[in-house]
Amino acid sequence: MPLDPLAKRLLTMMAAAAPQARSRPSVEARRQSLAKLMQFARADAPDVTTSDGVLPGPGGALPYRLYSPAGADDRAPGFVFFHGGGLVAGSIATHDRIAAALAHATGCRLVSVDYRLAPEHKFPAAVDDAIAATEWVAREAASLGIDAGRLVLGGDSAGATLAAIVCQEAAQTAGLSIVAQCLICPVLDFEEASPSRKAFAEGHLIDRVTIEADLADYLPEALDTADPRISPLRATRLAGLPTAIIHTAEYDPMRDEGDAYARKLLAAGVTVEHVCHEGMVHNFQAMGAILPQAQLVLSQIGEQVRRAVGT
């Protein structure tokens, strides 16, 4: 399908505002750019209330925001959410509207986690924080109003990377019950550039220069990018993982790795619901003020998660 006309208009506007010669963005520029982009998010979630807190992380206290949809009982399903931003940008503030929309759509009490970012905190800080946050939510489920037996992990873009990794790690951890993983435009492979990464390397919202800069900021030198804690697509032990809800976009550089992960999970006997959204670009789900498809995908995710958690 051709690129969606509204998405094409957005890309044209962004290209006109960008400098002629693309150079590696500074960390601060990367963070500001994502914050501006996330202003296009729209959440129809008037019934969701929030409260902020901190949870213990391996490097110190981690802020979190708890979203509670109206009508949720004392033991609602839980959703641990990790924001996108290449592991160098983003926060619970930038993704506030998306988190609220997901809580509303899924009926889950959602915990959005402010994990540590690179380059100030390189790999494996974000992974360690994501694991610690998930374990804490499971331990403190009762006080959060969450049913520890109905826990979902999810995220968008690099946040989906963390969700996939935590699910793989949790499969080896006794007592941690995750019923579903929700991966939105996931980044899953830094070992090899897929055809979609090459085809959409320029002019499709996130480009090769930004992806390479994020990776350089995130990884210490001389690390193996095939490590599943960096590239979860490279994992070989996938049997027994939670049900996977995967949403990819046709014109996303990361499309192929999301598609490949869906196929690998299916081959390992994992239940998978995978949708590739025609005409869409990376991060489209967060641009509801521009793209009507964003609202549709959040509603669709809500239905899928509700089925997975049994509500």
Render pLDDT for 144-159 as a digit per residue (tens, 0 to 9). 999 999 999 999 999 9
Name the active-site residue from 129, 207, 252, 256.
252
CB 228 within 8 A of CB 269: no
pLDDT for res 173:
72
pLDDT for res 24:
80
pLDDT for res 44:
74
| pLDDT tens sequence across 116-172 | 999 999 999 999 999 999 999 999 999 999 999 999 999 999 999 999 999 999 987
Distance between CA 82 and CA 156 in Å, rounded?
7
| pLDDT tens sequence across 60-112 | 999 999 999 998 989 999 999 999 999 999 999 999 999 999 999 999 999 99
pTM for the model stands at 0.96
Name the active-site residue from 157, 194, 196, 231.
157
Distance of CA 239 to the CA centre of its chain: 22
pLDDT band for 16, please (50, 70, 90 cuts): confident
Question: Does the annotation count 252 as an active-site position?
Answer: yes
Mean pLDDT of all residues belonging to the chain: 94
pLDDT band for 45, please (50, 70, 90 cuts): confident
CB 229 within 8 A of CB 131: no
- Output the CA angle 71-274-250, nearest 5 degrees: 115
pLDDT for res 18:
67
